[in-house]
């Protein structure tokens, strides 16, 4: 009899706790994700990313075209092409266009409990400081990556030339 009562009690506890456990694992609501995105200034970060892509693309093209002896007409064409490319990037990579994607990713990846914890953190002074300083951190990290890429570019170019030489020899 004691075993039956104990089994019934355990079953009752499991059945009572199961909805609570599932609620904790529930995907976050769109409303809470939007609040998190607002607190973390996702829109500002996306705009900053777009600007960084614009700057690095223009710099890469300038670097690639340096010393090519382009005419004024050719330089104007390249400038026009770059403006068109930037316009396309800004159209496709903007906070409004990316919001549904972010919501889907957050819902697939995070639980409501995790989002609630993040919301609590980003409302603190430390959380606000992180949001404010993250663009500075990312910009500095990006600059370091660009410097490193400039250092390895000749090696990559050399490897590419070596591969092309070998391919020609193998024909």
In tens, the pLDDT along 40-71 reads: 998 887 887 788 777 877 787 777 777 778 78
Number of independent structural domains in the chain:
1
Answer whether residue 17 shows pLDDT above 70: no
Q: How confident is the model at residue 139 (pLDDT cuts 50, 70, 90)?
A: confident
36: number of Cβ within 10 Å: 21
Q: What would the mean pLDDT of 147-163 be, rounded to a whole number?
A: 89
CA 76 – CA 68 distance, rounded (Å)? 14
Q: How confident is the model at residue 24 (pLDDT cuts 50, 70, 90)?
A: low
What pLDDT, on a 0 to 100 scale, did the predictor assign at position 67? Answer: 76
Pairwise CA distance, residues 88 & 69, whole Å = 28
- Residue 1, domain member (yes or no): no
Domain region containing 53 = 29-170
Average pLDDT over residues 122-133: 95
Q: Report angle CA 4, 7, 9 to the nearest 5 degrees.
A: 110
Whether residue 7 is contained in a domain is answered as no
Confirm whether 122 is domain-assigned.
yes
Burial class (CB in 10 A: 0-12, 13-18, 19+), 163: exposed
pTM, two decimals, is 0.60
Give, to the nearest 10 degrees, the angle between helix 2-24 and helix 112-122. Answer: 50
> Is the Cα dihedral 5, 6, 11, 14 positive or negative?
positive
24: in domain:
no
Q: Is 18 among the domain residues?
A: no
Cα torsion through 146, 148, 149, 155, rounded to 10 = 160
Q: Which residue would you say has higher pLDDT here, 13 or 92?
A: 92
Residue 6 domain flag: no
H-run or E-run covering 72: helix 72-92
**Residue 69 resides in a domain:** yes
Residue 105 lies in a domain: yes
């Amino acid at each position: 009899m004691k075993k039956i009562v104990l089994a019934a009690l355990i079953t009752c506890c499991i059945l009572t706790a199961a909805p609570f456990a599932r609620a904790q694992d529930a995907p976050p609501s769109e409303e809470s994700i939007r609040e998190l995105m607002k607190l973390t200034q996702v829109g500002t970060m996306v705009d900053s990313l777009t600007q960084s892509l614009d700057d690095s693309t223009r710099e890469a093209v300038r670097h690639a075209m340096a010393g090519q002896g382009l005419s004024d007409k050719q330089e104007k064409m390249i400038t026009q092409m770059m403006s068109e490319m930037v316009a396309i990037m800004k159209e496709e990579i903007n906070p409004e266009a990316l919001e549904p994607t972010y919501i889907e990713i957050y819902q697939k990846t995070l639980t409501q409990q995790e989002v609630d914890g993040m919301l609590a953190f980003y409302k603190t002074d430390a959380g606000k400081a992180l949001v404010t300083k993250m663009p500075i951190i990312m910009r500095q990290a990006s600059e370091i990556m660009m410097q490193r890429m400039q250092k390895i570019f000749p090696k990559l170019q050399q490897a590419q030339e070596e591969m092309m030489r070998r391919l020609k020899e193998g024909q």
